[in-house]
Structure 1
């Protein structure tokens, strides 16, 4: 079939092939995506034919032509009008509008690859302009760490920290001082990364409550004085603008305790997760020691005696800043790659911090229900039900399937 012949085809003539390509199982007949995409394609076809929309909407086919909407009728203006149609439906939430449009946009992209269309009109800026802002909060759209991903990450950081700590603690007594310091630094970094990964994986604490936000001076990162391993709790500055206790479940306690023993912070006011950025620490050490009246030559001599400025900061109690929320993302990118974790997500190629929180939400809702999950996540039960509505929908689907089988059986 020539490109010209394809552009003359009706829109609906492509739907079944597209859905088979996107479906699951033998013949592409199954899967939630196929079902949802089929619904939205049907709605788009009805709108294109003039059967949906305002009273004066007659569809995309010229009034003097009697045929079904075809690919030759599509351009970016059509998709812009459809985006305006979706955005004007007051019964749809902003995120739902975005989701519905994405189904049509994905089909449009497939049509380009298959030769039905010459360009991906749906992705052009002018076509998408009427769409509302997307706040990224739609159920099922945010990344959620699966149990397999959580275990792969925590297993990797645990093995890495154990190896680094063993290397440091088994150095011979006559080892060179700088070699010993380098080994301690490597162990500290691995132990910090392990503790951070475990906290993000199991506590469901928001990364902005745990680490420093450069744009909010109140969020300076959790300090050791705010952690009680005996009680299994940690004080954090919550999203609701007040301090509150967050739980530290059992898997988190040992990594934090091991890390603290190795770090041996000079005071309880040290951040739990300090930055290891060499440039930041070098400037901080110089400035702080100079403010204390130490001469520049003495500062240089002191720094030359240590393998890293973090170790100078520990020895001299020069308190570093906490890593930032962006720093945590960089760490998780590095760890996800090193652990070779399989990640299939449209927005993130690594285990993003919020995915740990959302993954724990999945676990808690499935195990204990929405009320308990809401308390642990520090959210209202209503919000948790909305965010994890796909779980309840799946469970209700199972109930309906069982009921039907009993009746039909």
Structure 2
């Protein structure tokens, strides 16, 4: 295709190729970046066509022309108008506007490399002028669990597990089998939730490295085969796209060990944090038993012997999927409310997963400095210094105060 032919192409024709190049996994179909970029490209396509914006906005194609927008219609003035549109009265924060514009700018740069555009119009100073200044903060990534919040939450899930396990293990021998199943199920769920809370609170592992990401097939969630309780380590697929060992500190070992003993997973390939969603498990159990040659009536008869499909899956080694990162957020919302934790944060009314990691970062920087914290957090020291700069600022303030007091004396 010649440059002239590319310039006549509809903008949307390039989106899928761009997203495949930026996606992860086989065929470029996975990854959070791909999903977020696709959303913003769709919004941009609607805007250039005149379907977004003010009532008097008709798009970038001349009013007397009836066709879709093409690359010939793009120049720096178009991107300037889009920057102004993003920064308009839509309730978006400064850094969010910057983030949305970067998705479109990255696509524009790709179009230059592929020969669709002659210049990277989105990066020109005049195009970016209407954008608000980035305040340097990442949206939604500022919450950090305090020591008090961490203690309250871990104490709550500890007590919850003790009560559930005691209720299950002290049942009389003549208890109805279904009632025993209900007690075991409650204990398993409480133990899973406790293990999840402790891992998020003390390991500083990213929640996306720990659980399943539906948009990235490589992130299937940590399995028991990935964990060594004896060595105090856990293999996770890091943000840098490679497997690496993460530390399991002492507070995490006991909850994981007792949880594993209670569950007694059929194989090491079972997820450490399986979903308990009844709809998902019902479909999984029915399909797996059918694949094994079971008749539909026999399947329903077998399911009727269990109060929950999870217990059937456990006994028949029908491996469930791991909970997702969204599932973890739902669990923490439920537990934060039940534990009556006092939370003062503009974005989250619960203890969000990333807050556990950030809270551990605070502890490590204050106790051992930036170098050790960077190793534990799997980040560069430069990044850790930037994100926890308030700690150094406070320490320097103390030094200045001490110096002033010394002069006064």
Give the TM-score category using the shorter length.
Answer: 0.5 to 0.7
Query: CA separation of 1:329/1:136 partners in 2, compared to 1, >3 Å: closer, same or farther?
Result: farther
Q: Deviations over 1:146-204 (max 9, x none)?
A: 00000000000000011000100110111000000000000000000000000000000
Give the structure-1-normalised TM-score. 0.68
1:293-304 equivalence runs, <5 A: 293-304=293-304
Larger gyration radius, structure 1 or structure 2: 1
| Residues 144 and 354, structure 1, Cα contact 8 Å, conserved in 2 | yes
CA distance in 2: counterparts of 1:351 and 1:253, whole angstroms: 22
The residue number in structure 2 matching 1:325 is 325
CA distance in 1: counterparts of 2:132 and 2:313, whole angstroms: 51
Cα drift, residue 136 of structure 1: 4.8
Q: Deviations over 1:246-266 (max 9, x none)?
A: 000000000000100011100
Query: CA separation of 1:189/1:388 partners in 2, compared to 1, >3 Å: closer, same or farther?
Result: same
The residue number in structure 2 matching 1:288 is 288
Query: CA separation of 1:135/1:303 partners in 2, compared to 1, >3 Å: closer, same or farther?
Result: farther
| 2:132 equivalent to 1:131 | yes
The residue number in structure 1 matching 2:309 is 309
| 2:341 equivalent to 1:341 | yes
Cα drift, residue 141 of structure 1: 6.2
CA distance in 2: counterparts of 1:327 and 1:95, whole angstroms: 26
| Residues 365 and 373, structure 1, Cα contact 8 Å, conserved in 2 | yes
Q: Deviations over 1:11-37 (max 9, x none)?
A: xxxxxxxxxxxxxxxxxxxxxxxxxxx
| Residues 141 and 355, structure 2, Cα contact 8 Å, conserved in 1 | no
Helix, strand or coil for the counterpart of 1:217? coil
Gaps of 5+ in 1: 1-82, 88-93, 99-128
| Residues 141 and 354, structure 2, Cα contact 8 Å, conserved in 1 | no
1:192-203 equivalence runs, <5 A: 192-203=192-203
Query: CA separation of 1:231/1:352 partners in 2, compared to 1, >3 Å: closer, same or farther?
Result: same
Gaps of 5+ in 2: 1-82, 88-93, 99-129
CA distance in 1: counterparts of 2:282 and 2:173, whole angstroms: 29
Root-mean-square deviation (Å) = 2.2
The residue number in structure 2 matching 1:393 is 393
Cα drift, residue 95 of structure 1: 5.0
CA distance in 2: counterparts of 1:180 and 1:201, whole angstroms: 31
Query: CA separation of 1:240/1:227 partners in 2, compared to 1, >3 Å: closer, same or farther?
Result: same
Cα drift, residue 408 of structure 1: 1.8
Runs of 4+ residues over 3 Å off in structure 1:
94-98, 132-136
| Residues 222 and 272, structure 2, Cα contact 8 Å, conserved in 1 | yes
| Residues 237 and 244, structure 1, Cα contact 8 Å, conserved in 2 | yes
Count of matched residue pairs:
289
| Residues 236 and 243, structure 1, Cα contact 8 Å, conserved in 2 | yes
| Residues 236 and 245, structure 2, Cα contact 8 Å, conserved in 1 | yes
| 2:253 equivalent to 1:253 | yes
| Residues 234 and 247, structure 2, Cα contact 8 Å, conserved in 1 | yes
Cα drift, residue 130 of structure 1: 3.2
| 2:261 equivalent to 1:270 | no
CA distance in 2: counterparts of 1:163 and 1:134, whole angstroms: 47
Helix, strand or coil for the counterpart of 2:267? coil
Give the structure-2-normalised TM-score. 0.68
